[in-house]
Structure 1
Amino acid sequence: MVEEFTCYAGADVPGLLLAGSFGASLYFMTKKNVKLGKATVITIGGLVAGAVVGSAVENWLQVDIVPFLGIHSPAAVVSEIIIISQFLVSLYLR
């Protein structure tokens, strides 16, 4: 008798957070009367800048080896930096 084990990893929480921040950034920028195309380009720029800075911070902190403030996942560090950059982009850029 062969038993099969199914592994369910759960939801992709950092990806869900990034999708939510992307949508929120677009929403708030269009509320400030920025056209959707321009808002999309600015939001993608903030996403890329946050990913670059987040990767540099994660390489510096090495949270997978030594946890920092209870964060063990490198993806969580990068996604948090991206969320902060999305917030700053939607708050200050027009």
Structure 2
Amino acid sequence: MRLDKFLKVSRLIKRRTLAKEVCDQGRVMINGKPAKAGVNVSVGDELSIRFGNKTVTVRVEKIAENVRKEEAGAMFTLIQEEVKESDSDVLSS
């Protein structure tokens, strides 16, 4: 399954077009390497997604074309959620 479609189906990112943009900006890594939207995702892959100052790392557990909202969380396991302080927060302290 394509990376952008997995991000949308698993509900990590709400829209596929947004998932494609995030991938093309280099904000998604698969197993530590930058990944484009068209890269295939496999079970066991680790995805790191950067949302502004927050980085979410998940492991792909299941791949399915159509998933109900309640089942979307079973497609991945959250490994780490890291929030980095912005430079302005550090300077004002």
Decide: shared fold, TM above 0.5.
Answer: no
For normalisation by structure 2, the TM-score amounts to 0.26
| Higher CA-based Rg | 1
Please state which structure has a larger fraction of its residues in helix: 1
Structure whose residues are more often strand by fraction? 2
Give the alignment's TM-score, normalised by structure 1: 0.26
Bigger RCO of structures 1 and 2 (CA < 8 A, at least 6 apart): 1
